[in-house]
């Protein structure tokens, strides 16, 4: 059984006991979160598709930890002009574990 859920503006395919990294959520570590924006549910071949969301469907997850992702280097250059710009960025992430799909 799996579902496609809208979490923090992004769509994720989730299964029970699966761990995900999502954009930072406003929840304490160890807290349980319920996501109501379920777009699709597949229960062993029986597929339900929402328009845009499925009424009554929800996904429950537990917040494991808050962390920062790997550094992404942004480098801009214009050749023969002497222009170089180097910048770095680390995204704030939350690791969650899916507990239940209902």
| Domain count of the fold of the chain | 1
pLDDT in the model for residue 73: 98
Residue 30 has what pLDDT? 95
What range defines the domain where residue 27 resides?
Answer: 2-101
Confidence of residue 32 (pLDDT cuts 50, 70, 90): very high
Q: Return the DSSP state at 2.
A: E
* Secondary structure, 3-state, 11-78: EEEEECCCEEEEECCCCCCCCEEEECCEEEEEECCEEEECCCCCCCCCEEEEEEEEEECCCEEEEEEE
Segment 41-95, tens digit of pLDDT: 999 889 999 999 999 999 999 999 999 999 999 999 999 999 999 999 999 999 9
């Amino acid at each position: 059984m799996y579902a496609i859920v809208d979490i923090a503006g992004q769509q994720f395919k989730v299964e029970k006991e699966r761990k995900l990294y999502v954009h930072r959520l406003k929840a304490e570590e160890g807290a349980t979160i319920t996501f109501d924006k379920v777009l699709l549910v597949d229960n062993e071949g029986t597929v339900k598709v929402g328009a845009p969301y499925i009424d009554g469907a929800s996904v429950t997850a537990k917040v494991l930890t808050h962390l920062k992702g790997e550094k992404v280097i942004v480098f801009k250059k214009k050749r023969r002009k002497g222009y170089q710009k180097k910048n770095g960025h680390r995204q704030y992430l939350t690791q969650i574990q899916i507990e239940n799909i209902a």
